[in-house]
Amino acid sequence: MDGTKHIIKKELTRIFTDKKMIVSLFILPGVLIMVMYSVMGGLISNLEEDIETHVPTVYIQNAPEDFEDVIKELDYQANITYINSQDSIDSIKDDILIGDVELLVVFDEGFKETIGSYSSLGDAIPEVRTFYNPSEDYSGVARSNFNGIVLNTYHHYLLTERFGNTEQLQVFHIDRDPEAGVIVDEGKASGKSLSMLLPFLINIMLFQGAMALGMDAITGEKERGTIASMLLSPIKRSEIVFGKMISLGMLTSLSAVIYAIAVVIGIRNLSGGAMGEIASMTFTPLQIIQLLVLLIALVYFYVSLVVLVATFARTQKEAGTYVTPLYIIVMLGGVLTMFSSGSERGLEFYAIPVYNAAISLQNLLVGELTMPQFGVAVGSLAILASLITVLITRAFNNEKVMFNA
């Protein structure tokens, strides 16, 4: 296995002595990921802030006299226009549709009188109707704020007017302190939100790294005619294959680590608090070992997949064409986990390559990965990768594959 050792050393030297390679493989993608997430984060928080601070334009028809006082007292921020029952509301509805006006509130005519004349069951109860556009962010927020702040208060105010003591009506409270009622496993809760995104990202990043490196290290060398010089050395073909795969695995892992750091930094900007979630996540030693083993199996599997394709491709262009469908499958495996939880799946699902890695990672992050699930996932990945390695070694012995002969 001396040959393998020398080849690994050469492959790593090749990458690390080439500034362009370091920039294009590690630094540039890392910076891009970070910038992408930061920009996304910035945009989202800007958007949220914008909606929060936006002063809505509200039209109120037939507002009772005391309603205006309530609004003044509440310090409710809005450009309010009061209109009469004679005024047409059709043009206001049109403006809501195009997003120029956020909210129209219509009190029934004779609102206060109807309330005042109520005496027994079956008497008329007046209505307040709100018109808004749920597809407009401003409009939706304006309506819920108006309902929550203004109408609720006015409702309570009228109840007090009618009964004096409203405790009679309260009967019971629900959660006077809602925060105190939350019982949650912090680790699992933060894992839950991460478990949606991370399996997807890890899958893609590992494959991406293997793809970029593998095509150059195998097909590129075939194209440049440099791999043949190695085939002329008195070492076994399998030694060359192992040398290539191990060095690729190491580089892929390194690129994945760099990408992961970039994502974490990016996510911190994305949602402000998510970084705290990552920090508050705790892993048991067993979980850490499981995570490492799972990632190693996954790297081995993806590297073998890419190397297989790269070995059979005649040119890098051809390799790119072959590897794209695989990339899409890997992405799909990750996407599937984003919208479902892994715990209720049968053990056989853990034998499906790509998908098994994604669901195992998902379960691991919420602390629900069982040993059988872990075993089946790692086992199936390793067995498949070994089979592919055998195929690659055979291909390396095949003159038609190696020399297009």
Binding site for other proteins (CB under 8 A): 2-3, 6-7, 10, 13-14, 17-18, 221, 224-226, 228-236, 399-400, 402-403, 405
Q: How far apart are CA 364 and CA 54, in angstroms?
A: 42
For residue 304, the minimal CB distance to other proteins (Å) is 23
Instruction: Let me know: does 70 contact 154? Beta carbons within 8 Å.
Output: yes
For other proteins, the closer CB: 271 or 398? 398
In angstroms, the Cα distances linking 315 to 209, 215, 283 are 19, 9, 44
Residue entry with tokens 């049109």: 94
For other proteins, the closer CB: 21 or 158? 21
Q: How far apart are CA 250 and CA 295, in angstroms?
A: 12
In angstroms, the Cα distances linking 9 to 16, 70, 73, 217 are 11, 78, 76, 13
Nearest 5°: phi and psi at 106? Answer: -120, 115
For residue 312, the minimal CB distance to other proteins (Å) is 14
Residue of 278, 308, 310, 279 lying closest to 212 (CA atoms): 310
In angstroms, the Cα distances linking 188 to 76, 183, 199, 362 are 39, 12, 15, 11
Nearest 5°: phi and psi at 76? Answer: -75, 120
> Identity (one letter) of the amino acid at 31?
V
Q: How far apart are CA 284 and CA 188, in angstroms?
A: 13
Residue entry with tokens 């690729």: 248
For other proteins, the closer CB: 230 or 298? 230
For residue 306, the minimal CB distance to other proteins (Å) is 20
For other proteins, the closer CB: 13 or 284? 13
Sheet holding 57-61, edge to edge: 79-83, 57-61, 103-107, 128-131
Q: How far apart are CA 245 and CA 253, in angstroms?
A: 12
For residue 217, the minimal CB distance to other proteins (Å) is 11
For other proteins, the closer CB: 234 or 346? 234
For residue 313, the minimal CB distance to other proteins (Å) is 15
For residue 218, the minimal CB distance to other proteins (Å) is 13
Residue of 99, 203, 92 lying closest to 142 (CA atoms): 99
For other proteins, the closer CB: 235 or 391? 235
For residue 235, the minimal CB distance to other proteins (Å) is 6
For other proteins, the closer CB: 21 or 391? 21
For residue 303, the minimal CB distance to other proteins (Å) is 20
For other proteins, the closer CB: 15 or 206? 15
For residue 404, the minimal CB distance to other proteins (Å) is 9
For other proteins, the closer CB: 231 or 293? 231
Helical residues (DSSP H) of 272-370, grouped into ranges: 274-280, 285-312, 316-338, 355-365
Q: How far apart are CA 78 and CA 61, in angstroms?
A: 15
Q: How far apart are CA 151 and CA 347, in angstroms?
A: 53
For residue 348, the minimal CB distance to other proteins (Å) is 41
For other proteins, the closer CB: 89 or 231? 231
